[in-house]
Chain A
Amino acid sequence: MMIKQRKNKIADIVLFVILAVGAVFILFPIAWMLSTALKSAPEVAMYPPKLLPEKLLLENFAIAWSKAPFTRYTTNTLIIVFFTIIGNVFVNSFVAYGFAKIDFAGKKLLFKIVLATMMIPGFVTLVPTYVIFSKLRWVNTYLPLIVPAFCGNAFHIFMMRQFYRTIPNELMEAARVDGAGHFYIWGKLMMPLVKPVMATVALISFKGAWSDFQGPLLYLSDKNKYTIQLGLQVFKGQGYTEWNYLMAVSFLSMIPILVLFFCFQNYFIEGMNVGGAVK
């Protein structure tokens, strides 16, 4: 028994060391990003590179931010993010209620189609969808980035349906006996109960819309309409790359999601888990 315990202890120490080494490899790039952001231009170009700058140039963040209209890009992005969240949260919870709580002809088949569409890569429909939006004259507006969020998202519908199914039907049946319709039950009875999953969908939508690059790249051509990700790419593309400033704005562009994650960790992780329950 003693030998076994000692063996376990050694195994624990070995695992701890492995984890610690891995953690260093993960954190080092992030630290590098910050240290580069605080360096002066000659320090960035120095070989061999210095771990820490001589003087921490905190003003780099302000200088970098003013090198391109990043405040405008951020505002633009927030507009898209806002409508995407509204669409995803309310429309998907509405649709998911239908799939979870109402019995109707053809439901099984239609739900199979929901699951199947989760497997179709976006690029399969990218070109024809672009044609549709350009015929509608929606190119160079935010509509192609926002409107699809109001037409349901298979992944979110699936996630919310799973959540609705954990709510007992008795509650709903009682309300129905009292003459309540499905709209009332969805809006008044269920809404408070499914708040956690709505929060998860809101967070996932925020992350997706905030970090989207390909959508804005395709649909936005007017510089005044650029989003933060597109703005970053253009900022990098202008001639010689000033890495300290680029790292400074890159880091700033990640702060919103990092803050949200640390405030609402549980909702993020919940969303991941339900995603993993898909078979």
Chain B
Amino acid sequence: MFGKLLTKFGVKSRKGRETAYGYVFILPWLIGIVCFVLGPLVFSFITSFADYNMLKVNFIGLSNYKKMFFQDQLFWKSLGNTLVYSLLNVPLVTVGGVIVAVILNKSIWGLRTFRTIYYLPSIMVGVGTYFLWMLLLDPANGLVNTLLGLIGIKGPAWLTDPNWTKPAIILMHLWGLGGQMLLYLARLQSIPQDYYEAASLDGAGMFKKFTTITVPLLSPIIFYNLTIGIIGAFQVFQEGYIFSGDGTGKPAGSLLFYNLHLWNQAFKNFKTGYANAMCWFLFAIVMILTVCNQKISKKWVYYEEGDNDD
């Protein structure tokens, strides 16, 4: 049918026909990228220079950006919160994931059960998990502080103490590191055992083998997870919204993450122009991070042959 149509329009060469087919096949994605990525990016860039409330556009030059950098205290606060969270969360979850994966790659009794248990939290998704952690972290009779009390430590007030809200989120994410662990585990299982045997013959110990074989071979996937993790950290929203109860980022604004501030500006205060300026600043940060990440990765990521065959 489509072939006949092409003949009718005089597309006869094999190459031309393939190109026509190709674009028909990727058409849904092309529509998607224009409507939901490129279009919105252009639109938000233009309106970031305007006083815009979804009804009237009134261009005001750089005012939104000036306000963002020089007047809006909460902008810096939310950016700082996000940075602190990301600098703590990403390395901890990554290191934790690698360690658990390395242990779960050994032949230990009950291995399958352990793998399932460690993976379990990452399929317990949704708002319910957040509520569970609010209960666990209750300062008075929550499970965490009760257990800490048993070993003589007076637990912090977690979600009600501004200094402890971010550690609380990280604790929850460490609980759920099984998803990342699985990625590392899959990679570890593809490492041939003879590498380790050869190293053993050369007298390498457990630690030496870990740093010279395991880490280099895991590095592409660690790098991938770092990139995704850092960008993911800039996506943090739900934690702040749900844990603060009312979406304001309380206590003391310690849960006001960048996206939560953006959300409140756009959908509570209806400062769409200003929110779009924030969108673009976020876009710029993520782009810079991604490029830096790519540059740094060249130094320490070891790609096996055939990994980059495109």
A residues adjacent to B (C-beta < 8 A): 11-12, 15-16, 18-19, 22-23, 25-30, 32-33, 36, 45-49, 91, 94-95, 97-99, 102-105, 107, 110, 113-114, 117, 119-132, 134, 148, 150-152, 157, 181-183, 186, 207, 210-211, 213-214, 217-218, 228-229, 232-233, 236-237, 243, 246-247, 249-251, 253-254, 257-258, 261, 268-269, 272-273, 275-276, 278-279
Closest to A19 in B: B114
CB distance from A133 to the nearest CB of B (A): 10
Partner of B28, one of A45, A95, A250, A276: A95
| 24 pairs of residues in contact across A and B, judged by CB atoms under 8 Å | A12-B108, A27-B117, A30-B124, A49-B141, A102-B18, A104-B22, A120-B283, A126-B279, A127-B44, A129-B36, A131-B43, A131-B272, A152-B29, A182-B25, A183-B1, A214-B237, A232-B128, A232-B131, A233-B242, A246-B131, A250-B131, A257-B126, A261-B123, A269-B186
- Determine if A232 and B54 form an interchain contact, defined as CB atoms under 8 angstroms apart: no
Interface-lining segment among B68-76, B159-167, B227-235:
B227-235
Let me know if B259 is at the binding interface, CB within 8 A: yes
A129 to B146, CA, bound (A): 45
- Determine if B146 and A48 form an interchain contact, defined as CB atoms under 8 angstroms apart: yes
Partner of B128, one of A16, A94, A250, A261: A250
CB distance from A92 to the nearest CB of B (A): 8
A36 to B121, CA, bound (A): 18
- Determine if B26 and A121 form an interchain contact, defined as CB atoms under 8 angstroms apart: no
Name the interface size band of chain B: 35 or more
- Determine if B28 and A152 form an interchain contact, defined as CB atoms under 8 angstroms apart: yes
- Determine if B2 and A181 form an interchain contact, defined as CB atoms under 8 angstroms apart: yes
Interface-lining segment among B86-94, B98-106, B207-215:
B98-106
Q: Which residues of B contact A254 (CB under 8 A)?
A: 124-126, 128-129
A181 to B103, CA, bound (A): 50
Closest to B237 in A: A214
Q: Could you tell me which residues of chain B, from 22 to 81, have a CB within 8 Å of some CB in chain A?
A: 22-26, 28-29, 31-33, 35-37, 39-41, 43-44, 47, 54
Let me know if B173 is at the binding interface, CB within 8 A: no
- Determine if B286 and A124 form an interchain contact, defined as CB atoms under 8 angstroms apart: yes
Q: Which residues of B contact A12 (CB under 8 A)?
A: 106, 108-109
Q: Could you tell me which residues of chain B, from 207 to 259, have a CB within 8 Å of some CB in chain A?
A: 220-221, 224-225, 227, 231, 234-235, 237-238, 241-242, 245, 259
A119 to B31, CA, bound (A): 19
- Determine if A276 and B221 form an interchain contact, defined as CB atoms under 8 angstroms apart: yes
Main secondary structure of the interface of B (DSSP, over half): helix
- Determine if A134 and B279 form an interchain contact, defined as CB atoms under 8 angstroms apart: no
Closest to A101 in B: B25
- Determine if B186 and A273 form an interchain contact, defined as CB atoms under 8 angstroms apart: yes
Tell me whether A258 and B175 are in contact in the complex, defined as CB-CB below 8 angstroms, given that A95-B28, A123-B262 are known contacts.
no
Tell me whether A123 and B141 are in contact in the complex, defined as CB-CB below 8 angstroms, given that A128-B44, A276-B221 are known contacts.
no
- Determine if A211 and B126 form an interchain contact, defined as CB atoms under 8 angstroms apart: yes
Q: Which residues of B contact A94 (CB under 8 A)?
A: 25, 28
Residue-wise interface mask of B (116-151) relative to A, using a CB-CB cutoff of 8 A (1 in contact, 0 not): 011011011111110111011000111100100100
CB distance from A187 to the nearest CB of B (A): 12
Closest to A28 in B: B143
Tell me whether A124 and B283 are in contact in the complex, defined as CB-CB below 8 angstroms, given that A16-B108, A23-B118, A214-B238 are known contacts.
yes
A248 to B29, CA, bound (A): 41
- Determine if A22 and B18 form an interchain contact, defined as CB atoms under 8 angstroms apart: no
A213 to B266, CA, bound (A): 18
Q: Which residues of A contact B136 (CB under 8 A)?
A: 29, 32
Q: Which residues of A contact B22 (CB under 8 A)?
A: 98, 102-105, 107
